[in-house]
Amino acid sequence: MSFLVEIEHRFRAVQGLPSPVRAAGGLSLLAGGEGVEVIVRAGVTFEDDQLTGRGWFFDTDAAAAELAGCCAGLEARPWTEIFDFRPTFELVARHLFGRLAGQLPQLAYVEIRDVHFGVTTRYVPG
């Protein structure tokens, strides 16, 4: 049997990139400095035979703290000011995966959900 445990961290973020699709459709743009609700989720997979005598594979409280630490600062200012690359959700998810991979054993993916627009972007290394 296989398990998948998901850990998530929710915050407001300002991506800082223009939306040509919204502009072309005549939709309102986000006001300067206005953020969107974002959920960053990390998924860890493991097998039944990896459960410890305590009935778990890893400490989910510690994993949640690790994810929160990895996301610290992402709500402080626009992502265009934080990252030295164009902060699309795809590239940020891959970046966060790279930061978390050494901290969360058997990390399977990192995803970012834009709650406001109902879009989820998942990075799965391959």
pLDDT digits over 31-47, tens only? 555 688 999 999 999 99
Distance CA 21, CA 9 (A): 28
CATH of the domain at 36: 3.30.479.10
- Tally the domains of the chain: 1
Q: How confident is the model at residue 25 (pLDDT cuts 50, 70, 90)?
A: low
Average pLDDT, the chain: 90
- Asked if residues 61 and 35 have their Cβ atoms less than 8 Å apart, the reply is no
Q: Which two tokens stand for residue 78?
A: 């626009």
Q: Report the pLDDT value the prediction gives residue 29, as an integer from 0 to 100.
A: 54
**How high is the pLDDT of residue 24?**
67
Residue 21 has a pLDDT of: 60
pLDDT in tens, 44-99: 999 999 999 999 999 999 999 999 999 999 998 999 999 999 999 999 999 999 99
In sequence order, which residues have a C-beta less than 8 Å from that of residue 58 and are 6 or more positions away?
A: 5, 44, 46, 104, 105
Q: Count other Cβ atoms within 10 Å, centred on residue 24.
A: 8
Query: Cα-flanking dihedrals φ and ψ of residue 32, to 5°?
Result: -55, 130
Given this model, what pLDDT does residue 20 score?
A: 63
Rg of the chain on CA atoms, in Å: 16
Is 42:6 a contact under the CB 8 Å cutoff?
A: yes
pLDDT of residue 17: 77
Residues of the domain holding 72: 2-123
